[in-house]
């Protein structure tokens, strides 16, 4: 059985639940978007769930932010990722990208049900981290300047942590 994750925003206007095969909060994203919109420690922690199982209460309070992303040649494009947040209290809730419609990526910070402790972590998008952020790298942790080698599914499967 996949794990049912339940989450909410700080003010309670939005509550949600989603089934996840990959509930370990191991992926710390230091990109400037996560850091500014969700990253209390200089990073945000992305989970992954099955979009088809997403239940939302209080949808009228939801707002969506699509970040502009520089392409490195002086231009910006608006990213396809839809960052869902509460329009009343501004809590970051989940990321949904129409290019991967079967997935939804809740932020661990919004989840209220207990999550399992990850045996190790992956620190990603380190080239975008703020200078004041000193990552706490554990002995088995992985560091990536951009995207990590393994997908969230692959990381869980490689460790026997995928939940059917
Ligand atoms: Zn709220
Ligand atoms: Zn990020």
Residue 138 belongs to some domain of the structure: yes
Residue 58 belongs to a domain with what CATH number? Answer: 2.170.150.70
Residue 163 belongs to some domain of the structure: no
Please give the tally of structural domains in the chain.
1
Residue 164 belongs to some domain of the structure: no
Residue 149 belongs to some domain of the structure: yes
Q: What was the pLDDT predicted at 78?
A: 78
Q: Which ligand is nearest the CA of 69, by number?
A: 2
Residue 81 belongs to some domain of the structure: yes
How far does residue 28's CA lie from ligand 2's centre (Å)? 8
Ion ligand 1, residue ranges at CB < 5 A: 9, 11, 13, 86, 88-89
Residue 36 belongs to some domain of the structure: yes
Q: If DSSP states are collapsed to H, E and C, what string results for the chain?
A: CCEEEEEECCCCCCEEEEEECECCCCEEECCHHHHHHHCCCCCEEECEEEHHHCEEECHHHEEEECCEEECCCCCEEECCCEEEEECCCCCEEEEECCCCCCEEEEEHHHECCCCCCCCCCEEECHHHCCCCCCCCCCCCCEECCCCCCCCHHHHHHHCCCCCC
Q: Which domain holds residue 41?
A: 3-158
Q: Going residue by residue through the chain (164 aa), what tens digit of pLDDT does each one get?
A: 799 999 999 999 999 999 999 999 999 999 999 999 987 889 999 999 999 999 999 999 999 999 887 766 667 677 889 999 999 999 999 999 999 999 999 999 999 999 999 999 999 999 999 999 999 999 999 999 999 999 999 999 999 999 99
């Amino acid at each position: 059985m996949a794990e049912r994750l339940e989450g909410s925003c700080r003010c309670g206007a939005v509550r949600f639940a989603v089934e996840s095969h990959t509930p370990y909060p191991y992926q710390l994203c230091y990109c400037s978007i996560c850091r500014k919109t969700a990253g209390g420690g200089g990073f945000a922690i992305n989970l992954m769930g099955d979009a088809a199982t997403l239940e939302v209460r209080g949808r009228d309070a939801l707002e969506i932010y699509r970040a502009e992303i520089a392409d490195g040649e002086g231009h910006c494009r608006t990213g396809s990722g839809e960052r869902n947040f509460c329009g009343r209290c501004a809590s970051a809730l989940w990321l949904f990208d129409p290019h991967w419609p079967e997935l939804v990526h809740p932020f661990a910070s919004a989840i209220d049900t207990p999550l399992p402790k990850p045996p190790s972590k992956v620190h990603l998008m380190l080239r975008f981290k703020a200078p004041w952020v000193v990552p706490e790298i554990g002995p088995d942790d992985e560091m990536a300047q951009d995207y990590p080698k393994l997908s969230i599914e692959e990381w869980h499967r490689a460790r026997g942590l995928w939940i059917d």
